[in-house]
Every structure is written in C-alpha cells, then in structure tokens.
Amino acid sequence: MKIIICDKTEKEYIEQMRAAGLTVDVRDDITPEQLMVELPNYDGMVVRSRTKVRKDLIDACPNLKIIVRGGAGLDTIDHEYAKQKGIAVMNTPLANSKSVAELAIGYMLMLARSLYAASATMKAEKWEKKAFNGDEIGGKTLGLIGIGNIGQEVAKRAIAMEMTVVAYDPYVKEAPAGIKLVSLNELLAQADYISLHLPKTKESANMIGKEQFAKMKNGVRIVNCARGGIVNEDALHEALTSGMVAGAALDVFNEEPPTDWKLAKLDNVIASPHIGAATKEAQARVGAEVAEKLIAFSKNGK
C-alpha cells in the first residue's frame, strides 16, 4: 500500500509503517491544490485538522482505500460519502482524550482565579493583589455537554477536585459513576461551569445560543475545547459583555484562524489556537494508533 501523510505525524510511527511494508510519503506541507493532483496515486492518506477531505477530493481519487484521521472527530472529512464510495474512514478517538481534558480543567482554574489577567498585570510591573479575589472550583457544579472519551476524562479530574458533575448526552443511556445524567435545560440551570465535549454536527451546530444563555446561572463560565460553531459566537459575545457569562475559555472557533477576533479580545476570555491535543504524549499516542490502524488494514483490509 502507498500512503501519503498530509499532516504532521511522529517520525517513529512513520518508520513503523515503512518497516511493516507500507510505502509512505510525508507531505505534511501539501496544499489543497497539490493534493487534488497527487492523491490519485495513493491507496491511503493520513490527515489531522489541517487537511480537509471533501467530496470533490474523494471523487478525484478512485484508488483511495482508506483515510485515517489522527485525532477525535471526523468533521474535516465527508466520511459518510467516503464510506459510500467504499473507502474505509478511521480516527484515533482515545489518543488525545487526556490532553484535552487537562486543558479544559486548566482553563476552569484560570477562569476561577483570573490567572491570565493576574499574570498580565505582573508583566506590566503592577502589584494588584487586592484586584484578584477568585473562587474555588471545589464544591461547584460542572455541566458536561457530551460525555464520550474526553468528557469522561474531564469528569474524573473534576470529581477528584470535589466538583459535582452533571452531564447531557442524548446518545448515552447510563453515565459512569459520579456523573448524573440530566436534560440540557437542567444542566444549563444547575452548572457553574459548562464544558463542551462533542462533535460538530447538523444537530449540534449553534446548539448553545441566546435562548440557552438565558437559561444559565448568572455568572456561569464556559469552556469550549470541542469544536467551533457549537456555541453561537455572537450570542456568546453578547452574554460575555453583558456579564451574564462571567468568563469563557475557547480553544476552538467557528473559523480557524478567526476572521473576526472580537471574542478573543474580550478581557473575560482566554483563547488559544486549537491546541487541545498539542502535547508530546498525545502526539505519540496519535502516531502509534495511526500506524496500528494502517498496518492492520494493509494486512486484512479492515
């Protein structure tokens, strides 16, 4: 099998694939235009968030047999269409769960103690000790929207920090120990912190908007390390500027990079450029799982 690596993948696992007999070309800087021309020469491809695999690209590649996305979610791939064309589509749903969960918890702590603002004052050579009177997250209620692999990892850490955890997930019938399943409206009313951990789909796009913000506790804090576009950005901006939402931490945006930076520039927003899985440990797990799936597919076709 001939494989093209379209996005950054750890070298160790590329060599594993080659040692297993795969022909692997690394083109992690390939442009969409180049990919359209070159992909027909390959049996398989490895992508992450940068490379989008849409219908037009799939149609141009009759030899393509497998697409592996390093990471959780398949929103960058027209995966249902690919499957209709007989192309296997896989991802690595477990590999980055812990890294994203740690970022979400870290963001909650930063919001609770205004750590970003406090650090900024120190860099400005100001000693404003009395300006930063924060909150403990212990004893607060965390509302998780989505309790798949990442949501469950967040819950473990939140419970260890003595938070009460409630969750809404229409695809889950029974929650792990320590998590109470509730309706979305119940979660919005109860949570001091809301953290999102679900894919962006037709159903979840803009599922948190003006109507949902009106049902939340005054002073709630929002964390989104899932996907941009699940929270309506205009409605969030309005809620943040009005004080209805005390703060937000955003690792993802509707457009990446944003064309409108108004959310990221708010004083009560902490923002980062989609770095949830950007740890050495997660990258290694992703590479290992990608290699494992491709080697297995080359041997038995699944």
- Count up the domains in the chain and report the number: 2
Is the domain of 89 the same as that of 108?
no
Annotated active-site positions, please?
Answer: 227, 256, 274
The pLDDT, as a whole number, for residue 14 is: 95
CATH of the domain at 293: 3.40.50.720
Residue 223: which of 100, 121, 123 has the closest Cα? 100
β-pairing verdict for 193-196 and 141-145: parallel
Is the domain of 52 the same as that of 109?
no
Is the domain of 142 the same as that of 175?
yes
β-pairing verdict for 44-47 and 88-91: unpaired
Q: Which domain holds residue 289?
A: 2-93+280-300
Is the domain of 110 the same as that of 201?
yes
Is the domain of 102 the same as that of 204?
yes
The three-class DSSP label of residue 66 is: strand
Is the domain of 108 the same as that of 216?
yes
**pLDDT above 70 coverage of the chain, percent:** 99
Is the domain of 81 the same as that of 112?
no
Is the domain of 22 the same as that of 141?
no
Is the domain of 168 the same as that of 75?
no
Rounded Cα–Cα distance for residues 182 and 167 (Å): 6
Is the domain of 182 the same as that of 236?
yes
Is the domain of 123 the same as that of 204?
yes
Q: Work out the mean pLDDT of the chain and round it to a whole number.
A: 95
Rounded Cα–Cα distance for residues 289 and 281 (Å): 12
The pLDDT, as a whole number, for residue 162 is: 98
Kindly state the DSSP code that residue 217 receives in the 8-state scheme. P
Size of the chain in residues: 302
Is the N-terminal amide bond of 257 cis, ω within 30° of 0?
Answer: yes
Residue with tokens 């409108």: 260
Is the domain of 156 the same as that of 240?
yes
Q: Which residues of the chain have pLDDT under 70?
A: 301-302
pTM of the model: 0.90
Cα within 13 Å of Cα(300), Cβ side: 4
Token pair for 251? 């690792």
Rounded Cα–Cα distance for residues 274 and 253 (Å): 8
